[in-house]
Structures are given as structure tokens and as C-alpha cells.
Amino acid sequence: MKRIFVTGGAGYIGSHVVKALGERGCEVLTYDNLSTGHAEAVLHGDLVRGDLADGTLLRETLRGFRPDAVIHFAAHIEVAESVADPLKYYRNNTLNALNLWEALRELKLSNVIFSSTAAVYGIPEHNPVTEDTPLAPINPYGASKMMSERVLADLDASAPDFNYVALRYFNVAGADPQGRIGQKYRNATHLITRALKTAKGEYDRLQVFGSDYPTPDGTCIRDYIHVDDLAAAHLAALDHLIAGRGSAVFNCGYGHGYSVNEVVAVAKRVTGIDFRVEEAPRRAGDPPALVADSRRLRAATGWQPRHDDLEFIVRTAWDWEKRLG
């Protein structure tokens, strides 16, 4: 039994990790302001409704729970919004993360898993991308996450008892295969979810942003990882930390990508609906391709994905969308 404190555990990825922790038998406490999360998505443990900007409540909660490890998800995640409103992203993703790191150091708590992103790489020269690829984010979302990673690295260097794992997510998609939880954003921006909502008739068309990228079919290529495989990577990272193997940074992806057009084709096949697709100009902050080299994660933790199948990913997301009505 391990006591795990999860910020943002009512959100899409956080709730799947809370589910995995609960199924393992961990004692879980979720801390979430519910600005984008949903209380009913927290399937295990207790929920404290709180904001990381509230230092008093944060410290009181941590002091009372005394976790063995902390998993930090709470963040804004929309690339285009970060370009339009950068201060919102630096305030929440960087400053609020700093509030959490300060509270952990004051209370002498260690073992942190940080929800980072492939956006820290910007437009890499080579794909697949390794963890040693230079960090050069091209949007405030990626920059805000990069800054938090840097603070964690500096804490690790200055405090021998402080250990962390930063997991750099590539494109997370899909839903719980049992249909209990899934993506439930008010404004769907992720490609697979947007495509499925278009198939449902919630949108009259799906826009494809850019068809002139230097890729085989001209559309962006991304490495799509099923959310349950990503949750399993968090448990593997937790085992890594609890075993005292030290701090690390790991990419989370499958090592191959699909273009936007390929994803759209699979979405149409899974749903059986030939929904309308419209070409649109490139979107600010989008690199042409991002594919993970995740060999370091596999070698260090033994992580092995179980759902490396785009059709399975889309089908679980479609089953969830239908459940939402």
C-alpha cells in the first residue's frame, strides 16, 4: 500500500491514473479545482476540491495525508490557447507548479512524477525524438512545461533526498475500455475526439489544419498513445522512484506515428460515418511531426504497452462518445 497524492486527478489523464492506482491497491487522494475535471471521474480514493494557488489548503492537505509520492497533472493543455493567452499558461503551468514544489520541500516530501509533454521539443530535426533532443518549445504551453522540468532538475541537484520522474507525453487518446471514464472537455481540441464528435453531429465539419507540411500526405504526424498505456507508464515510474532508482526523464509514446489524414480515415471506418472534412490554414505552434523514442522508459522500468493499435484507440474513444450521448 502506497499513499499517492494526485493533482488534477479528476481530469482526463489524471482520472485514468487514479483508476490504475486504485486497482493496484494504493491509497489515493486527488486534489483538483474541477475547472476542467469532473468529480465523478475520480473512481478511487478521496477528492479535495482545491487550487494549487491556495498555498494554505495545499499545505494542510499534504500535511494531513503525508503521501509517499506525488503525481502532478493539474495544468492547461491547449496549444492554440497558450499562443493567444500565454500568461494564463505561465501562471498555471509554471507558477502553480512552483507552489507545489515549494510545499513539498517545506514538508520534506519527495518522489514526484511530473506530467510533461513532447511540446518541449518544438520542431525536432529528427524523429523519433529521444530524451536528449534539445528542448526548443515553439509555444507557451511547451515552454511552461519546460520551465517546470528545469526547476525539478535543479531541485534534484540541490537536494539529495528529492527525486522525480518527468514523463513527456506524446498524443494521448482513447478511453477506459470498460467505458467508465474518458475525455470530457467542454471544448474538444484533440484530433480524435474532435473527429468523433463531428461523426456524432456535434460539429458540422472537421477542420484539418495544414495540408502542406513536409510529410508523405502533407498533414501533421503524431505518435498516439492509449491513455491506459500512459497510466501504466505512471505506475512504472512510481515503482522506479519507490525502488530508489533516482530521477529520470522518459518519453511516452509508441515509436511510430500517424498523419491527420490517416487518423480521419480510421475514425470514419470505426464510426461508419463519412463526416465532412475541410482543409484549413496551418495552426500556430504545430510542428510537422512528433514521434517518441521510448526505449529509455522501456529499458529502465520494463514498461510494455498493451494497446498499440490506432483502431483500438479510436474504438474505445468512440464507445465513450456514444456513452456520453
Tell how strand 69-72 and strand 112-117 pair up: parallel
The conformation of residue 160, written as its DSSP 8-state character, comes to T
The conformation of residue 151, written as its DSSP 8-state character, comes to H
Angle at 268 between CA 266 and CA 269, to 5 degrees: 65
The Cα–Cα gap between 291 and 312 comes to: 19
The conformation of residue 246, written as its DSSP 8-state character, comes to -
Which distant-in-sequence residues (6+ apart) come within 8 Å of 40 by Cβ?
none
Three-class DSSP category at 283 = coil
Q: Which amino acid is present at 257? A: G
Q: At what angle do helices 260-271 and 191-200 cross, to 10 degrees?
A: 40
The Cα–Cα gap between 95 and 70 comes to: 17
Q: Which residues are catalytic?
A: 141
CA dihedral 218, 223, 227, 230 (to 10 degrees): -160
